[in-house]
Structure 1
Amino acid sequence: MTVTLHRHSTLTPAARRDLLTAYADVRSPLLHLPNYSVTAFTERLERHAAEPGFTLVLGRHDGEPVGYAYATSVGPGDPFWERLADPLPEGFTAAPALALREIGVRTPWRGTGTARRIHDALLAARPEGRTVLMVNPLAGEGRVRRRYEDWGYRAVNRQAATAHSPELTVMIRPTR
């Protein structure tokens, strides 16, 4: 199955439609939870699309969306850093980082390397020296976190649980 990758620096109507289609399929078992609903995701997506450094990579097969990843740039003083539960080392946020906000691949393309290709295309040519993400450590019975570790991420912090989200592990790696 050939997957072509398409990079977007703005959220066009077509890209938005394809992303929401893929998201709804990828997260279908969780859509009943408030934080995972398509409405909640759409609100986050619209907010993120307006932030500095927004980049979206969509994977398509025969014109159909099969996976996606998007990120924004977070610099010093960005509210992203305020969400972390534990104090950060002095100077940790001095340089911008790429915040990987969301990544997902539809079931037929899982285990094919598609997620890694989308991830790597998202990070390609980014000016930030490091990439940070938050992951539910229980997702996929821990397999999702282990996959990120295989890709070079390491745990550095956590985000405390909220009414709509479990505690998340904050992971980081060099962008290249």
Structure 2
Amino acid sequence: MSHCAACFKEERPLASIAIELHDADPDEAARRVDEYSDLYAEVHAGPPYSWGPEYADLFRRRFETQRQQEGFALVEARTAGTLIGMGYGVGLVPTTPWWQNLLGPLPPDVTEERPGRTWAMAELMVTEHWRRLHLAEAIHDRLLDGRPEERATITVLPAAAAAQAAVLKWGWQKLGQKRNPLPGAPVFDVLVKALGR
């Protein structure tokens, strides 16, 4: 379940609010996993997700693995020390399951991975109170800025209309759809974005 949650049409200027963006390394991320898991549960509790606590547990387990992977990068947003948003991702390896469980075939030249080809944005989320500040976009841009990979990929729930609009505005292109191999898992749109070198 890697995706963009709480991306949105943002209206208020971020510069007028005291918000700090911070890059967290894998060790810092390990110490803060409780905060990240709580944020995940909060962001995904309401529509269009309405996911229960079992999804936060899955997030935690997945995160513990991903933070140790090649290319791990995480940006968190805080105000007065309180976590209000975060995004992170990892590099894809040739044996990645990312391109499995597609609902339709994609050409091999799209799904074939090699070291350094693709960086997957695993999560991008902001608490409801802090939306419409261009905060998700700021986290997104900081994560992608200067990445050495050729492209990035992300998944977005089709019913998350604001998230869909945001990622398309930010230059992502839809490739297809996939279902994650979890009981009752929803279908996600799979998108890619070319990265500047």
Whether 1:144 and 2:160 are equivalent positions in the alignment is no
Q: How far off its partner does 1:49 sit?
A: 1.2
Q: Which amino acid is the alignment partner of residue 116 of structure 1? A: E
Change (3 A) 1:124 1:161: closer
Contact map agreement 1:21 1:65 (CA 8 A) in 2: no
Q: Does 1:124 align with 2:145?
A: yes
Identify the residue that residue 114 of structure 1 maps to in structure 2: 135
Aligned to 1:19: 36
Gaps of 5+ in 1: none
TM-score, normalising length: structure 1 = 0.88
- Higher relative CO (Cα under 8 Å, sequence separation at least 6) belongs to 2
C-alpha separation in 2, matches of 1:129 and 1:76: 14
State percent identity of aligned pairs: 26
Matched, 1:134 2:155: yes
Q: 2:74 aligns with which of 46, 56, 72?
A: 56
Point out where structure 2 has 5 or more consecutive residues left out of the alignment.
Answer: 1-16
Distance 1:126 1:68 in 2: 17
- 2:176 is paired with a residue whose SS is strand
Match for 2:125 among 58, 79, 104? 104
Aligned-residue Cα RMSD (Å) equals 1.9
Q: What displacement does 1:94 show?
A: 4.1
Structure 1 stretch displaced more, 73-82 or 12-21: 12-21
Count matched residues. 172
Greater mean alpha carbon deviation, residues 60-69 or residues 39-48: 39-48
Q: TM-score, normalised by structure 2?
A: 0.79
Once the two structures are TM-superposed, the CA of residue 33 in structure 1 deviates from its matched residue by: 6.7
